Chain A
Amino acid sequence: MAVHKGRGIAAIEYPTGMNQNGDPSQAWIKVKPDGRIDVFAGTSDIGNGSKTIQSQIVAETIGVPYDWITYDNSNTDSSPVCTGTFASRATFVAGKAVEKAAERVKERILDIAGKELEIDPSDLEIVDGEVLAKGAPQKKIAVPDVAAAATWTYGELITGTGAQLKDFASIVDPETGEVDSPPHSAISYAACAAEVEVDDETGVVRVTRLVQVYDVGRAINPTLVEGQIEGGAVQGLGLGVLENCYPYYPSAEHRGGQFGSYLAPGFEDLPQIDTIIIENPSADGPYGAKGIGEMANNAQPPAIASAVYDAVGVWVTELPITPERVLRALEAKAEPTRNGKTFVFDAELSVNAVAQGGIAFEVPA
């Protein structure tokens, strides 16, 4: 037997927010009489950590400690609209809504603090739960005291709402796909290198190492970013070499109905993962953040496919790259066919080979 090592790379991009936009998120915030902050937003936390991230954004924006924040996304009676947790929008879009709501709250706190301190609100700032006069921090009032004054002296509820909605980008020309405005929020970028070992007798591909680079814009919480990247890497590994709802696709036979016959990656499939973070801030995300949750499983499959080619000299372009597909490719040792200046790979998979004239892929010669 021979085990062959190989390396391959890929670079990708991914948009934030629903394609073509038009996906609102809203938030409202109220302040308790002791200055503690209640945030109401409709973003489901599916494990991505949006409760945490949005709480951090509120704490940062107002200028109070993180543990002053209570975050409630529990129901539609108290929380306003959020289109949902998908399209990598929970930080970028929904996080922007809570940032805007927090800015309103901050304005109200500064306004009331200004009255109490007899200083113009524009000369005040909030640091660690205290409102300070800029340049004269000995003149100050604690946020809890501001909240108490609002409640008991001014008869005011300190509250703020925020909404983020980017205009729907219409397709103005269905022939060309031209749109009338950017159909996305920020675009995030990533690159990945895969190292594999391929057993040329059994066809088994083991991914031994993934080196990944992500431009995250700004890591609101670096640990949570790592969690997204690592979780995505293993899902990308699943896409690349393990998972398939239809092992005999396009046939629907022999589907796996249990763990063990549906091959989700497990602990022992885990490769070494090295991650490089870049923070090129986005122009309009909260604190420069981008949305990288979804793209985190997009770069590994092509990097793995290229690494398998590097290892054993065959391209497997049907996913997942199963042992059987590797063995079949090794057996076929398929080279691209040459037709003048054209190199044709995978001709046997093409619609031209399978369909009976109903559709074709015709390439200009």
Chain B
Amino acid sequence: MTQATEVLFPTSADEAVAHFGDGSDVTVVGGGTIVMPEITYGRLAPTKALVLSRAGLDTLDVAGTTVTLGAGLPVERLAALAQDVKALAQCALNVADYEIRLQATVGGNLCAGEGRDAPRGDLQGPLLALDAQARSVGADGESTEPLEGFLGRRAGRLLLDVTFEKPAASAFAAIDYAHTHEYTVLAVSGVRTATGETRLAATGLAGFGTRLRSAEAAASDPERAGAAAVADVSLGDDALASAWYRERTLPVLVHRVLGELEEAA
């Protein structure tokens, strides 16, 4: 398989974009944590692999109140945002373990498809709550759009970076269960903006991360917000937990996040 695979190591973002082209038949390798086992296990035989490790996308820029994360930024580096965006740092540190976080990238975490037997994409939660803008390229060229929209059409696109405004406060709560190379059963992220708006998002769902709009609308009443959140999501059974369990605990996590946001305010 490797003999037949064209493997490209772009050394700049532009080169990466050029190699990616319209994205057809391109397998993007960020940190390798998701793609490499698929290759090893014979489930994926790329015809063209784009390895981003030298593409210079591992940037973390803070300009005033605006934060931009390069798609190639290792997840562990988000720990640096503990002061500015607590929920994002906390969520990042909840991903897998130290070494995986050094290898795994923001782009990989946001773009990977559904997990084999547990949910993936933990960073989608806080970044959705932050209403991050995703800049990506694809067959229709470059575009920048809200992450929420991007997630629905991320297949076939190359993510370059995500940008968001620092919130006034943020909070993160997860089901804290087993600890070997942990996958998140269910997590809720919350943001309080400078203008006092509350945004909530969840991961650990069927499909990918989701904004909890009904819960946001009821944010002033945490009990009601928790109950409302269930209507915002689609839940599934998997190796970690059942839809029943997630339905019971989603309100708890929403409640905890709102409580923490309240305390922070």
Contacts and interface: CB of A to CB of B under 8 A. Distances in A.
Contacts of A247: 239-240
Contact of B245 (A242, A253, A323): A323
Interface in B208-265: 237-242, 244-245, 248-249, 252, 256
A178 interface: no
A81 interface: no
A248 B243 CA distance: 12
Interface string A186-218: 000000000000000111100000000000000
Contacts of B182: 260, 266
Contacts of B176: 202, 204
A240 to B, nearest CB: 12
A323 B180 contact: no
Given A323-B175, A324-B244, A258 B180 contact: no
Given A201-B249, A255-B117, A256-B117, A266 B181 contact: yes
B180 A260 contact: yes
Nearest to A238: B178
Size range of the chain B interface in the assembly: 20 to 34
Contacts of B244: 324
A264 interface: yes
Contacts of B150: none
A333 interface: no
B153 interface: no
28 contacts: A1-B256, A204-B176, A242-B178, A247-B239, A253-B237, A255-B117, A255-B239, A256-B240, A257-B117, A258-B117, A258-B181, A259-B180, A259-B181, A260-B180, A261-B116, A261-B117, A263-B180, A265-B179, A266-B178, A266-B181, A266-B182, A267-B179, A268-B179, A323-B177, A324-B241, A324-B244, A327-B245, A327-B249
A259 B179 CA distance: 10
Interface size of A as a range = 20 to 34
A269 interface: yes
Interface in A207-252: 242, 247-248
B117 A265 contact: no
Interface in B90-147: 96, 115-118
Contact of B237 (A248, A258, A266): A248
A264 B180 contact: yes
> Which of B115, B178, B182, B237 has most chain A Cβ within 10 Å?
B178
